Amino acid sequence: MQRFIDGWFSPALHRRMQIAVYGHYGFALLLLPTAAADFLEYERFKLIHAISHLIQDGKIKVFSINSINNESWLNRQMHPREKSIRHSQFNQYVFEEVIPFIRQNTSTETPVITAGASFGALHAMNLFLKRPDLIQGVIGMSGDYNLQTYTEGYYDEEVYFNNPMAYLPNLEDSFILETLRQSRHIHIVSGSGNYENPDASRKLSAAFQAKGIDHELAIWGQDMPHDWQTWHRVLPFYLENRF
């Protein structure tokens, strides 16, 4: 399996950001880390190994990036307004820097699918919903799609526009709505085991349904906790059977 690490100084984030790339061909799978983790988290916890057969077969080419959650909502030392601004800067980094990097390392026609677990699922979903013209689908695993779960009561415009459970029900932009409705790859998955919150996935699904956006909701069983053993089963299953 081909693997290389790259990075650059991000104008959006004013810091160096790294990215791990796995594979030689296939649609682009952009992985968003959990919590305050880094770009090697999915490798370190063996999720890359779990999908390695798909990478080696040229079905997917994986791009795994850093989070900055410890510089935003998970940093208790920052003022909430600074956290909010940092979150929006992260979006800018993905749209204006990571997506072009993916295009350079695949092609302009290669579909980009975001995926993430836990907090990474919220980022993956939010990025897709904001720019479905750049990102063609999403796999959200064990996500809580209400950003206010993480903001400790703080609320401003950036929180609203980065909170799928706030802005999706009110979304009226015809271009974005029609582009979302054309996607064949909106997958919302949760287990029902320890520390999972399947109701968060059900609520997001209801918001999609109210907007007439086709999607797949799957609530797996009590044997699926909020942990890597669940995501080791979920991600290979969806990549093998839905793409």
Distance CA 236, CA 172 (A): 34
Per-residue tokens: 150:
């993480």
Give this prediction's pTM: 0.97
Residue type, 159: V
Residues sharing a CB contact under 8 Å with residue 33, sequence separation 6 or more, in sequence order: 39, 41, 42, 64, 65, 66, 67, 69, 116, 119, 120
Mean of per-residue pLDDT scores for the chain: 96
Q: Is the pLDDT of residue 66 over 90?
A: yes
Give me the percent of the chain exceeding a pLDDT of 70.
100
Average pLDDT over residues 94-99: 98
Q: Is the pLDDT of residue 106 over 90?
A: yes
Average pLDDT over residues 18-26: 97
Residues sharing a CB contact under 8 Å with residue 19, sequence separation 6 or more, in sequence order: 5, 6, 7, 39, 63, 64, 65, 66, 98, 101
Residue range 215-235, pLDDT digits in tens = 999 999 999 999 999 999 999
Listed by start position, the domains of the chain span: 3-241
Assign domain 3-241 to its CATH superfamily. Alpha/Beta hydrolase fold, catalytic domain (3.40.50.1820)
Q: Is the pLDDT of residue 97 over 90?
A: yes
